[in-house]
Every structure is written in C-alpha cells, then in structure tokens.
Amino acid sequence: MGFQELTILLAILLVLGISVLIFKVYQDRKAHRARNKSTNQKGLRTYAQAEKDYERAKTKLERDNNIFVIDFVHDMSERHRSRDIAHQHIEFEQAFRVIRELREVTGPVAIVLHTFGGYSLASEMIASAIKAHRNSTVAYVPYVAFSGGTVIALASRKINMGKNAALGPIDTQFYGFSGALYDQLVKGKSPDAISDEVFLLALEARLGWKDSIERAIELVHGVHRRSGDDSIRNLATGLIPHDQRILPHRAKELGFQIHEECPEEVYELVDAKLQMLKNADREAKRIEKQQEAKHSSLWNFANFFE
C-alpha cells in the first residue's frame, strides 16, 4: 500500500472516529434531556434547574414592574434543622446585605416574603431601612410571613397577599415566650415558686417588653396606621398566640392596606427558591466532589512529571 493510500485510509478512520464520538455525545445529551424532562414532569428540579427558574421569575418581575426585588424565602420543611440558619430565619448577615442594597437602590423596591420570622433586631433593622426608603415599596406575601416577616411587610407602603396567605402577631419573643406571659407568670406565682433563672428571664423580658411594643408601632408605615395604633399594639402585646394566622380580610379589618393579588412570577420565584434550598445539601456535596476530583487530577498531573 502506497503512502497516498495509507493517508486516505487514516483520514477515513479519523472521520469515522470523530463521527462515532459526535454520535455518542448526541446520544448522551438526548438521554440527559429525556431525564430532565422526566424529572420536570414529576415536579422535581435539580438545583441548577431551580436556580434558572428563580432567576427567570425574578428578572421578569423586575422588568415588568420596573422594580428592584429583594426576597426573604426560608426553608420551612421538616429537614430545615440540618441546614444553615440563613435558610431558616431572618438573620444579621441577611439584614446587612439588604440594608446595603436599599442604600444603593434609588428606585421602587419589592420585598418577597416567605418566612416564619427570625431575630427581632435583624428584622427591625430591615424594616427600618424599608420604611425609610425614598421611593415606593411593596411587600408580596404569597403564602406566609409571620413575626419578623410581618414587621417587614408592615414597614412597606403596600402589601400584596395571596388569597390564602397569612400574616401573624409581631410581639418579640424572649426565649420562646412573649413578655406578656412572663409578666403573668411573675404576677401569678410567688417568688418562692419560681426558680432564680426563670425569675431573671422574666425580669429581662419585662424590661424589654413595653419598649418592643413602641418600637413595633414606630416601624409600621403610616398608611397602615390611619385607624390609629391600637391594632398594632394588640399584635405586639403578646396576648395573642404567636402562631395565629391573620388572613387578608382580617388584616384589612385591622386597618392595613392589603391588596389580594400576587403576580404569578412571585409564586414561581418562591417555589423555585424553596426547591433550591431543598437541594442545597446535595449541591454542596456535588461541588465538593468536583473540587476533590480537580485537586486529584492536578496532583496526578504533577506527579506524572516527577
């Protein structure tokens, strides 16, 4: 076989090899798309898919309403205790970030809330920054915003709630109980019947109790206080169970400016973010494995030349 024939044969083999490789890649991608389609049909999404859906919903909400979106979406599932606290509650790092964003943004702001609340001081810092924002603010509550979440919602000029959404009382909790309950405990029992630790906790709670009520009233936007401060005071006293739901019609009766409408993008944003949080542990492990594989490859490559 001459040189020319050999060259042609090698070229044919190369083309065949590339064709086989391209076909394999095509088949792999086709199978991957089929798996993704099947996954989506079952209502499940990977972290990456949920993240794309989250960004898409947020971008559409911002673009259609010419507004900057900040979200407080926290994991309320049974598994949430195994995760970072930032997935569960309003905390200080989140408060600092939101305050910085509000300082930099001059236009209208939308706050999407799906939370049971969190640290009272962190919630109050966020609410104060929202109330002081120089442009319009709207809070979206598609499902639930309790405790500190309600405080943040009431600091906004406008509140849009889903038909079955709920707000809640805004009394500060001291080690899991309201100041009002500590007050009743101390008044209802003799000092000898209370341990020193509980008595000191009660004293601390009573010291901060009335001040927390006045702070709550101060943080609520004026449009929600046109009927006076009694409604706010009742929600902040601690005499109402902390997990009691305040549905839209009841919130209106309390004098709050409530609109029973939430854009579909708000629901999509919250649902996608919750899926991201549920897959957060798995995503962290995936990234960790990628990094380990990368380090292992580099180590093997370096050893090859030793």
Sorted by sequence, the CB contacts under 8 Å of residue 280 that are 6+ apart come out as 47, 83, 84, 87
pLDDT tens digits for range 109-141: 999 999 999 999 999 999 999 999 999 999 999
Residue 250 pLDDT = 93
From residue 12, how far is each of 3, 20, 23 by CA, in Å? Answer: 14, 12, 16
pLDDT tens digits for range 58-83: 999 999 999 999 999 998 776 544 44
Residue appearing with tokens 């008595």: 199
Alpha-carbon span 41 to 37, nearest angstrom: 6
Residue 204 pLDDT = 80
Residue 130 pLDDT = 97
Alpha-carbon span 284 to 287, nearest angstrom: 5
Give yes or no for residue 271 having a pLDDT over 70. Answer: yes
Q: Closest Cα partner for 265 from 73, 110, 58?
A: 58
Domain boundaries, the chain: 47-168+245-281
Alpha-carbon span 169 to 187, nearest angstrom: 23
Q: Answer yes or no: pTM beyond 0.95.
A: no
Q: What is the fold of 47-168+245-281?
A: 2-enoyl-CoA Hydratase; Chain A, domain 1 (3.90.226)
Alpha-carbon span 113 to 155, nearest angstrom: 13
